[in-house]
Structure 1
Amino acid sequence: PSEGQIFISSNMDLDNLTIEIRDTKGRLIMYDLGKVINNKSPFAMDINSLASGLYILRIHNSSYMYSKLIQKL
């Protein structure tokens, strides 16, 4: 659960990522493009503007895809 920010890191070097937050009906709520993530430089995403509830975090590029359910308090 998070109240305002989520932090994303990876033990792999991932570049040119699209990071999406979708509601549980699949509607796109927020996104960020062209991000680079690794264990040395985690990416912080501000979710203060979201209402409390469950969301789907989706991170992908041309060769990688990851999804996780997150909760905004």
Structure 2
Amino acid sequence: MASPRHRLRALIEWISAKSVVLYDRPLMALTVVLLGAIALVDLALLIRAVSGASASHAGLYPVDK
């Protein structure tokens, strides 16, 4: 698997390449933006998983005490 930095760079290059081609196609441009957002969330979750943070520490899931 590629490093998060490499994945982010590839994502930015992909979005910038598509935005030039799809400038006159609003629906396709929206699709590119949404796919880019999904990829950024995926990358953020990957970085969080690598850093060792758990969902319970972030307050996302209730912890039984």
**Shorter-normalised TM-score: what interval?**
under 0.3
- Higher RCO, 1 or 2 (CA under 8 Å, sep at least 6)? 1
Mark the structure with the bigger radius of gyration. Answer: 2
TM-score (norm 2): 0.23
TM-score (norm 1): 0.22
Of Structure 1 and Structure 2, the greater strand share is in: 1
Of Structure 1 and Structure 2, the greater helix share is in: 2
